[in-house]
Amino acid sequence: MDKIVAEPRFDDDATASSADFASLYLIERKLLWLSSWMIHNANHLRPNRDGLKVGGHQASCASVVSIMTALYFHILRPQDRVAVKPHAGPVLHAINYLFGRQTVDKMAGLRQVGGAQAYPSRTKDGGEIDFSTGSVGLGVAITSFAGLIQDYLRAHDMVSPERPVSRHVAIAGDAELDEGNIYEALLEGWKHDVRDVWWVVDYNRQSLDSVMPDRLFGRFEGLFRDMGWNVMSLKYGKALEAAFRKPGGTALRAWIDDCPNSLYSALTFQGGAAWRQALLADLGRSRGVRAIIDPMTDESLAGLMTNLAGHDLPTLIEAFTAAARSDQPTCFLAYTTKGAGLPFAGHKDNHSGLMNEEQMNAFRSLMQIREGHEWDAYEGIPQPDRLRHFVASVPFATPLTPTGRTLAAPMVPVPDVLPHGSFAGRKMSTQGAFGEMLSEIGRGTGDCADLARHIVTMSPDVTVSTSLGPWVNRRGVFDRHTRNDVFRDSKLASAQRWGMSPEGQHIELGIAEQNLFLLLAAAGLAAPMQGARLLPIGTVYDPFVNRGHDALVYGCYQDARFMLVATPSGITLAPEGGQHQSTNTPLLGMVQDRIAAYEPAYADEFAILFRHGFDWMQRPEGSSVWFRLSTRQLDQPDRPLDPAAVIAGAHWVAPPAAGARLAIIYQGAVAPEAEAAFAALREDEPGAGLMAITSPDRLFANWRAAQRARRNGDAGAQAHIETLLAPLSPDAGLVTVLDGHPSTHAWLGGVRGQRIQTLGPDHFGQSGDIPDLYRIYGIDEDAILSACAAVMLG
């Protein structure tokens, strides 16, 4: 575990009166300038070789500058973790620049190779980014699950009790609240009584294409309160609140409250004269209102009417300070103006709008920036040394560790062989082998004690049907509060012991696969985020990986480390039919970056891979691991295996003779059909070979790596699959079969230019038993033999 730098002494309940508002206003101004200039530079000043718009979101950055100023320069502590809305990435880069954690070169290279990313990215922008947020909505939801993981780690004494608790903060665009995964996460957080989570909603009432519906905030408030959240609606700033207290102020407030979002946005864009005309048309007979607005210039009137709480630092800091006194999850609905302070503020088309050269020059003058000094951190700032000292003194400026915000945790030792009974001669499935082995690890004895302690399992209401039941019986269900197993207490017979306590090591989820993958991602980031390593295992029905695929991609993109066990799979489900069948998941495993996908046929292969998975997911060069397993029970062979070959992705079950003309290659549950076809084939082709693929993903990745190495001058580079296929004749035929899409294996013909017939279902949904379905979809023994004849005949 990384050594934590001593936390600076500051009051967590610091009041707004303790804030140095003079400095905060200057920082707010500087962040608006730097974020706008960063985007302008990328679009107007850099060479554009392909003619495509580089893009950026100046208006979305401006919308959230005040919120981020209040958080990063007054409220946040070093241990807090933040997910910044995607379109405010340039503001976050500017903040890190002021903290000395970002460079001018990176900012000048925004959206360019080697430059700062368009949206905050853990893997591309480095350790100062807590959560990647390019997938809208997912960055918000993961903070709730990160809070749950923090609760888990502390309940299991995996972090020092002296280490300060982290607050998990999401800065969200209001349009992100259209995402369904937000509400799935909200409900799951309520079930688990999640603490120390803030969602700050940049409520500018504008999405990409339109203005948000009126009064939508009321729905948001109700939803959050129903889920046990504290809701703070931050609508008006100090200037407007003062105006409301004057004679006529009540009428003015009612007028603004009733003003449609679209009209408010239009008036904001049009400016003070338009505000005056609209107010006089509706409230011109009110002496009190006239007394408020008549003495004001158009410019000051526009400033008053757009004095929303989301741009008012005293209001924001008061609200954040009040909420910080409790660990209750809190949603701040902070009213803002999209593009505040920029020439297109409020315009409904400003989402991707960019200031032109003339507008930027005027903005530069307003900000007192000299030409050629646009990137200077304190250009245009009076008394820059004073502000520099202020920035260095704020709590968040203190590094979390001597090397930054990324923590570390030692690897958990994995025994050379995981405990399991004898497989040979038994009839069992790979899913059954998974359940048995995990149960044996769950005993927590011998050299598995430490391994068992670091495993946490999770499942979206399919715990028992994915063979996690024995593990849960041994290790218990996690809950922040102890809850007895009523059936057990009542002495009612049940195979499952579902007592819940803080000591449990299984997290039960509702049927929402996105939540599973977000929780896996949060648990898989425990080492860099919390300094304590978890080995998360999540189980789900294989076809329903598709439901949570976006969140799976998101977790892998952040380089979270977890083990996904997807089972049961394929049309081998047989009688269940319909949507419980799957064909595309082997392809998903191949194309998904930062995950190693495996599909063993037999328990002995799984045992090797299960052990490798625990090791691989911890290595710096490693990744997450995905097992596609089956409920089909097969007669288990008694044989020696080369673990390196199984891990590399394939091995010969029956090696071919030198110069052989044919090989059958199978993957997963169709092994008996392939073996039967091979036995029949050997009568006519005694030199043929039989190969088992355990991972088309690892095979293909290794082949690609060898190709790159040869292109880069390493003529001797050889892929594992090239070595395996080398004994075959150059014109040999290959017949491949799996319970998955046949294109999973189609690339094998290109390894050595051999003819290939690929078998596998390319559609699904028919109920039946295995013999019927395998016959209908062309993966039975007869289909394999027919393909052998076809490939031999050319």
Look up residue 360 and give its amino acid.
Answer: M
Segment 596-622, tens digit of pLDDT: 999 999 999 999 999 999 999 999 999
CB 648 within 8 A of CB 605: no
* Torsion from C-alpha of 681, 686, 687, 691, nearest 10 degrees: 40
Query: Would the CA dihedral through 605, 655, 591, 703 be positive or negative?
Result: positive
What gap in Å lies between CA 311 and CA 243, rounded to an integer?
Answer: 17
Pairwise CA distance, residues 601 & 423, whole Å: 13
Nearest to 42 by CA among 113, 98, 120: 113
Q: Could you give the 3-state DSSP secondary structure of residue 597?
A: strand
The torsion angles phi and psi of 502, rounded to 5 degrees, stand at -65, -15
Q: Are 164 and 79 in contact, with CB atoms under 8 Å apart?
A: yes
* pLDDT at residue number 323: 97
130 closest CA partner among 525, 555, 534 = 525
> For 74, which DSSP code?
I
pLDDT at 578 (0 to 100): 80
Asked if 565 and 434 count as a contact pair (C-beta separation under 8 A), the reply is yes
pLDDT for 11 equals 38
Round to the nearest angstrom and report the end-to-end CA distance of the chain: 60
Tell me the C-alpha distance between 190 and 167, whole Å. Answer: 17
Q: Per the structure block, which two tokens stand in for 691? A: 């190969």
- SS3 label, residue 512: coil
- Rounded-to-integer distance, Cα 56 and Cα 126, Å: 20
In DSSP terms, 563 is beta-bridged to: 537, 625
Closest Cα to residue 268, out of 296, 307, 316, 239? 307
Low-confidence ranges of the chain (pLDDT < 50): 1-14, 208-209
3 state SS of 105 = helix
User: Sign of the CA dihedral 185, 187, 188, 190?
Assistant: positive
Q: What is the pLDDT of residue 348?
A: 77
Which phi and psi angles does 536 have, rounded to 5°?
A: -80, 135
pLDDT the model gives residue 15: 57
**Can you give the length of the chain in residues?**
794
Question: What's the token pair of residue 488?
Answer: 């057990």
Find tokens 């923590």 and name the residue.
407
Rounded to whole angstroms, the Cα distance separating 216 from 174 reads: 10
Exposure class string for 565-598: b at 16+ Cβ within 10 A, else e: bbbbbbbbbbeeeeebbbbbbbbbbbebebbbbb
CB of 94 closer than 8 Å to CB of 197: no
Task: Lay out the sheet containing 477-478: strands in order across.
Answer: 500-501, 477-478, 506-509, 455-460, 535-540, 563-566, 624-628, 595-598
Distance CA 376, CA 654 (A): 68
Whether 514 and 553 have beta carbons less than 8 Å apart is answered as no
CA distance 199 to 208: 21
Contacts of 384 (CB under 8 A, 6+ apart): 378
What helix, strand, coil percent values describe the chain, rounded to 5? 45, 10, 40
Q: How far apart are CA 610 and CA 696, in angstroms?
A: 17
pTM: 0.94
Identify whether the C-beta of residue 8 lies closer than 8 Å to the C-beta of residue 398: yes
- Other CB atoms within a 10 A radius of the CB of residue 713 amount to 7
Burial class (CB in 10 A: 0-12, 13-18, 19+), 427: exposed
Closest residue by Cα to residue 780 from 566, 579, 578, 572: 572
Cα separation, 316 vs 309, in Å, equals 7
The phi, psi pair for 758, rounded to 5°, reads -110, 130
Cα separation of 238 and 303, whole Å?
A: 12
Closest CA to 101 of 119, 125, 118, 80: 125
Q: Which amino acid is at 708?
A: R
Edge-to-edge strand list for the sheet holding 662-667: 650-654, 689-693, 662-667, 733-738, 755-759
Tokens (6 digits) for 760: 């596998």
How far apart (Å, rounded) are the C-alpha atoms in residues 305 and 283? Answer: 14
Map tokens 């202020």 to a residue: 390
C-alpha radius of gyration, the chain, whole number: 30
Query: What local confidence, expressed as pLDDT, does residue 403 receive?
Result: 73
Nearest in space to 556 (alpha carbons), one of 122, 117, 26: 122
Token representation of residue 402: 């001597």
Cα 744 → chain centroid: 26
Q: What angle do the packed helices 21-40 and 313-323 form, to 10 degrees?
A: 110
